[in-house]
Amino acid sequence: MKQSLQRIVALAIKELLAVLKDRKSRIVLVVPPILQLIVFGYAATFDLNDIPVAVYNEDRSAPSRELVSHILGSPHFHLYAEIDHDGQIAPLINNKAVLGVVHIGPRFSADLLQGLAPRVQVVIDGRNSNTALLMQGYLRGIVRDFNLAWARRSGRPPPAAYLQVRPWFNSNLVSRWFIVPGIVGLLTLVITTIVTALSVAREREAGTFDQLLVTPMRPVEILIGKSFPGVLIGAIEGTFILLMAIYWFDVPLRGSLGALYTGMFMFLLSAVGIGLMISSLAVTQQQGMLGAFLFLVPAVILSGFATPIANMPDAVQLLTYVNPLRYFLIILRGVFLEGDTADILFHYYWPMAVIALVTLSLAGWLFRHRLN
């Protein structure tokens, strides 16, 4: 038992050195995640800020100016240009100078005063349909507020019923609060996978893996020793990114850290398991790297990181059940925003434990049984 522990410790130290002894390897493990966290944390937002729009106001009256100032006064839009004829709309939109043109017709205020419902046309660039949809939503909100204010001032009755919308967990709907906890999971996965995916392949290519197999080490011991650097480096960097999310990006942490770390540990084990399995299957480092890519890219895109899993077709949704990132993202967002505790998250822990168990066992089996 004691000997076994000694062997594992020796291998773990050797593995850690293999990753960290090279200066370039150290740099690629530390610098990119920090840079990515900061850049992506700010970049990955669905909120529209300062969207350039053009205004074509044919009715230069007080009410139409008021509506325009409502639109331009919101943080979502800024005025790119005022235009004065139809022909100017197409080039502005086509060349992406603006994402929308607000067109107020000449009879706007006359209609409004006479009690006819005036129409305000907005031309929206639909190339990015999500942006178009959100823009439409923002504009609807602005027009609704304008209408309410107008009705109040002109002494008309209010609408029969109104919506009292209250978003839970994220009352201002800041999309950064959704994305930054996601980045914690994303970067932890990337780091752990690249640390482990080449660890066996490198030794196979160099021929030292056969030597390792003829030592008294048992496959289980090799497995633990090889898992160690991935789990350790993943946990350290994961913690660092977590601290950045809390203190740099000010995402509220409402749940229990214990629940979060239980999830992170399961997640690291499953990521290491997948990385080692890929590595044991590969004969060359290039194949190992290819395998890591082939796992990481779908794992990220089909995790619910940016686009909801509920929108995916059923067949693809089934596939996401074997993706550890799927569960970790739910845990991260649950603990951060919804204040979840370990008992609520139990459903998301055990699938990762199963993935870890299966992949680690397969990796250990493949150490000796990989067919050439």
Partner 1 sequence: MNSPAAMRMRLRGMIRKESLQILRDPSSIAIAFVLPVILLLLFGFGVSLDAKNIRLALVVEQPDTRTASLTGAFRGSDFFATVSFNSIQEAEQALTEHHVDGILWLRNDFSSRLLDGGNAPIGVFVNGVDANQARITEGYIQGVWQLWLASYAREQGSALPVSVELEPRIWFNAALRSRNFLVPGLIAVIMTLTGAMLTSMVVAREWERGTMESLMVTPIRIWEIIVGKLLPYFVLGMGGMLLSVAMALWVFEVPLRGSFWVLTAVSALFMMVALGMGLLISTVARNQFVAGQIALVATFLPAFILSGFIFQISSMPAPIQVVTHIVPARYFVAILQTLFAAGNIWPVILANSAALLLMMVIFLGVARRKTRKRLD
Residues 194, 15: Cα–Cα separation, whole Å? 14
Name which of residues 244 to 263 contact partner 1 (CB under 8 A): none
Long-range contacts of 163-169 (CB under 8 A, 24+ apart): 169/337, 169/338
Residue 258 tokens, joined: 């214990």
Q: Is 51 near partner 1 (CB under 8 A)?
A: yes
Q: Is 72 near partner 1 (CB under 8 A)?
A: no
Q: Is 203 near partner 1 (CB under 8 A)?
A: no
**Least distance to partner 1, CB of residue 112, Å:** 7
One of 127, 254, 368, 369 touching partner 1 (CB under 8 A):
127
Specify the stretch interacting with partner 1 by CB under 8 A; choose among 212-220, 232-240, 247-255, 291-299. Answer: 291-299
Give the nearer residue to partner 1 in terms of CB position, either 5 or 90.
90
- 257-281: b or e for each residue (b if 16 or more CB lie within 10 Å)? eebbbbbbbbbbbbbbbbbbbbbbb
Q: Is 235 near partner 1 (CB under 8 A)?
A: no
Q: Is 325 near partner 1 (CB under 8 A)?
A: no
Give the nearer residue to partner 1 in terms of CB position, either 220 or 289.
289
Contact indicator for 277, 324 with CB cutoff of 8 Å: no
Total of chain residues touching partner 1, rule CB under 8 A: 114
Give the nearer residue to partner 1 in terms of CB position, either 127 or 368.
127
Residue from 298, 294, 291 nearest 322 by CA: 298
163: how many CB neighbours lie within 10 A of its CB? 6
One of 4, 14, 16, 25 touching partner 1 (CB under 8 A):
25
Residues 354, 266: Cα–Cα separation, whole Å? 9
Burial class (CB in 10 A: 0-12, 13-18, 19+), 1: exposed
Name which of residues 139 to 178 contact partner 1 (CB under 8 A): 139-141, 143-144, 146-147, 150-151, 156-171, 173-175, 177-178
